Structure 1
Amino acid sequence: MTTVVSTAALIREQLWRSRLAAGLTQEEYGKRAHYSPSMVSAVELGQTAPNEAYLIRADEVLDTGGLLVSLRELGRRDGEPVWFRPWLEVERVATQLRCFGATMIPGLLQTADYARAVFRLDLGLTADRVEELVAARLERQTILDREHPPQLTAVIDEAALQRFAEGCAEVLAEQLRHLVACARRPHIRVHVLPQGVGLHAGLFGPFILGRTADGSWLGFLDNQTGGTAVDDIFEVATLLGRWESLRSDALPRQQSIDLLEEIVKPWI
């Protein structure tokens, strides 16, 4: 049987092998590449996804001829499901992103372990395919680490933050701590829609909105079997209206952070 290796795993292995071939320890490599040893270790262990800047620098320091950046581009194209790829292009050029998470944390803010747990719910996915999807999700998030990242605002239903249960409590606790860290970044806003709101516009389902450089808005709708990009002016207007309703019902930024910290406190 042929073993399928995810692109992310291939990049990690190539980074490790190239560093060893250069005769460098993680600390020595970190000094040359201007990254901390802990960052180098996290990347090689798969705990942190290397962004484009990291791989460009690695190609330079390790003299790999652009191989690592090329592998990243290959993984970017192949990792995500076909139906999601058009929306990825929207995200990459968007100046603003707005997303509503009804039942789970939005993908742009997920940790690797949380994403892995979500993908494993699909029993039709092999372990290798799950890892491919996790790697693609982390790669997708690198738009938030660019020099000029999009302004991301997320509204998340409180119910999605309370899914602590045996076997997944640590994963969710880590995810909530990650949300707090994200919410404190200058270009990211996280707002919690409290359960006390009752019926709200988000009950129609999760969605994402992206604004491009020319000022136009596009949308994306999630469903059980995939997703649909929305560019019809009237449908986009409907989503924008629902977004405004959800945003007005959600807690302010600092109150949302306080609530996140309160929810996760028993699990620290």
Structure 2
Amino acid sequence: MAGGQLTAAAFLVAELRRARVRQGWSQEELARAVNYSPSMVSAVELGQQPPTSKYLDLFDKALDTGGIFGRMLTDLVALDKAQVWQRGWRTIVGQASKLRWFEPIYVPGLLQTEAYARAVFESGDLLAAEEVTSRLTDRIESQNVLYGDRPPQIIAILDEGVLRRLVGSRKIMADQATHLARVATEHPKVTVHVVSRSGEEYPALGGGFVVATLRDGGELGCLGGQVKTHELQEAAALDRLHAVWEATLGLALPPQDSIRLIREVAESWA
């Protein structure tokens, strides 16, 4: 929706789902027909991932629609002036030149060890084993962006509680803290700050967030959630995140002091 009007892209996404349902197919059956993963089909139908022309071509062929969805993409969606769908976290990371990331609960996903990430996903036994594996694979694959041709600059601020809260086991925490200190020391595009627990309450404790500066010059705010990431483009919302970021950065330890603290925490877990 944009200005109360249904965008062409939102209409396209809705019609894709209706066409699948009329065919009597589940998302898994459609995924097999178009040779994409069920998670991709789901992301498209939720508006989290834009359908590519290739995806729509395969969709049109599988459902024998005469190419209507491909034409909708090229002839209608291109006319939309508003952002027509959420980009999705992986897309944002891939398009970002800088990520300013605050976390009060967990180590940022791009900086997690595999064991730590698994422990996060297995917490409370709320996810099926297959879902844990799927999310873990996605998490680890997303970290490849750090070592690609155009890695984004990452400035991360962590509350000290992130380092002190047991996730999985003491060994997992020791390894995670050691890994975090190593990446912050060795990776030229990664800077880590820690807000000491000796400090007072500060505005960012209201929740984790990321401010992403994109290569096209745009900017996007991302708020973490239990179900999915919420993306923000409104100027007022971005101004608020900027203000919270600057206030929090002013309270955080400098990088070298932060790395020293992280290493001390690693030793305490060992």
Deviation at 1:216, TM superposition (A): 2.3
Structure 1 residues 83 and 253, CA, compared in 2 at 3 Å: closer, same or farther? farther
Which TM-score applies when normalising by structure 2? 0.66
Q: Which of the numbers 94, 97, 116 marks the counterpart of 2:96?
A: 94
Q: Determine if contact 1:76/1:136 at 8 Å carries over to the other structure.
A: no
8 A Cα contact 2:151 2:189, kept in partner: yes
Give the corresponding residue for 2:255. Answer: 253
Instruction: Give the corresponding residue for 2:181.
Output: 180
Please tell me whether the aligned partners of residues 189 and 253 of structure 1 are also in contact (alpha carbons under 8 angstroms).
yes
1:120 aligned to 119, 122, 142, which one? Answer: 122
Amino acid at match of 1:236: L
Compare 155-164 and 219-228 and name the one that shifted more.
Answer: 219-228
Root mean square deviation, CA, Å: 2.6
In structure 2, list runs of 5 or more residues that go unmatched.
1-34, 50-87
Aligned-partner Cα distance in 2 for 1:254–1:246: 17
Identity %: 32
Tell me by how many angstroms 1:128 deviates.
1.5
C-alpha deviations, 1:177-196, integer Å up to 9, x for none?
11011101111001101112
Paired residue for 2:192? 190
What is the TM-score when the length of structure 1 is the normalising length? Answer: 0.67
Rg larger in structure: 2
Q: Deviations for 1:19-39, whole angstroms, at most 9, x for unmatched residues?
A: xxxxxxxxxxxxxxxxxxxxx
The equivalent of 1:219 in structure 2 is: 221
Q: For residue 263 of structure 1, what is the amino acid of its counterpart?
A: V
Structure 1 pair 79–143 and aligned structure 2 pair: CA distance change class (3 A): farther
Paired AA for residue 103 in structure 1: I
Q: Which whole-Å CA distance do the structure 2 matches of 1:149 and 1:75 have between them?
A: 28
Runs of 4+ that moved beyond 2 A = 73-85, 223-227
Q: Deviations over 1:19-74 (max 9, x none)?
A: xxxxxxxxxxxxxxxxxxxxxxxxxxxxxxxxxxxxxxxxxxxxxxxxxxxx9x96
**Structure 2 CA distance, aligned partners of 1:74 and 1:187?**
32
Q: Is the 8 A contact 2:89 2:229 kept in 1?
A: no
Cα deviation digits, residues 128-156 of structure 1 (max 9, x gap) = 11011011001111111112211001000
Q: Which amino acid aligns with 2:97?
A: T
Equivalent residues of 1:83, 1:226 under 8 A apart: no
Helix, strand or coil at the partner of 2:180:
helix
Q: Is 1:170 aligned to residue 171 of structure 2?
A: yes
Larger deviation, residues 210-219 vs 126-135: 210-219
Greater shift, 101-110 or 120-129, is seen at 120-129
Contact 1:80-1:133 within 8 A present in 2 as well: no
One-letter code of the match for 2:134?
E
| Count of aligned pairs between the two proteins | 196
Q: Structure 1 CA distance, aligned partners of 2:113 and 2:245? A: 24
